[in-house]
Structure formats: structure tokens, C-alpha cells
Amino acid sequence: MPDISFVNTCSNVTGLIDRMEKAGWVERAADTADRRVKRLRLTADGRRLIQRAEEVKALMNPRASRSTNCSRVCAQN
């Protein structure tokens, strides 16, 4: 069986973030201390998406729902 593992390269991550931004789930913001750095922030749509993913996860597998918590991402923004 072929290895289909995700290759995490800068271009892959940039492409993912570009698509997430285009979908309205995240926004890029300048870092106040370093002009070279961009910070990602969840938008209201991004928070709703995470909430919905939590709901679906809980319905599909209640045991997995207790072991992981995507909502903590929302609390960091």
C-alpha cells in the first residue's frame, strides 16, 4: 500500500492557509514586534466551523470526543 502521509512543507502550509483565508475561516494579521511575521486569527466563521466539527465528532464517536478538544483553539484567539 502506498504511503499517503501528509508532507508538511512551507508551500503546503501556505497553500492551506491561503485556502482557509479565502473560505473566510482565518485572517492574517501583522505581528507588532516583527514585521516579517504574520499571525493567524480565527474568524467568526472559523469558530463556527470548529464548533460544528466538535458537534459532528461527538455524534460520530463520543469516546473520541472526550479525548480531543478542538474548542481550545477558539479560546486562544
At 1 the pLDDT is 45
Is 69 domain-assigned?
Answer: yes
Domains: count for the chain: 1
pTM: 0.64
At 36 the pLDDT is 92
Q: Per-residue pLDDT tens for 49-75?
A: 999 998 888 888 766 656 555 555 555
Q: For residue 32, is pLDDT > 70?
A: yes
Is 22 domain-assigned?
Answer: yes
What span, in angstroms and rounded, lies between the C-alpha atoms of 16 and 69? 21
Find the domain containing 28 and state its range: 10-75
Is 2 domain-assigned?
Answer: no
Mean pLDDT computed over 36-52: 94
Is 4 domain-assigned?
Answer: no
27 Cβ neighbours under 8 A, 6+ residues apart: 21, 40, 41, 43
What phi, psi does 49 have (nearest 5°)? -60, -45
**The CATH number of the domain where 41 resides is what?**
1.10.10
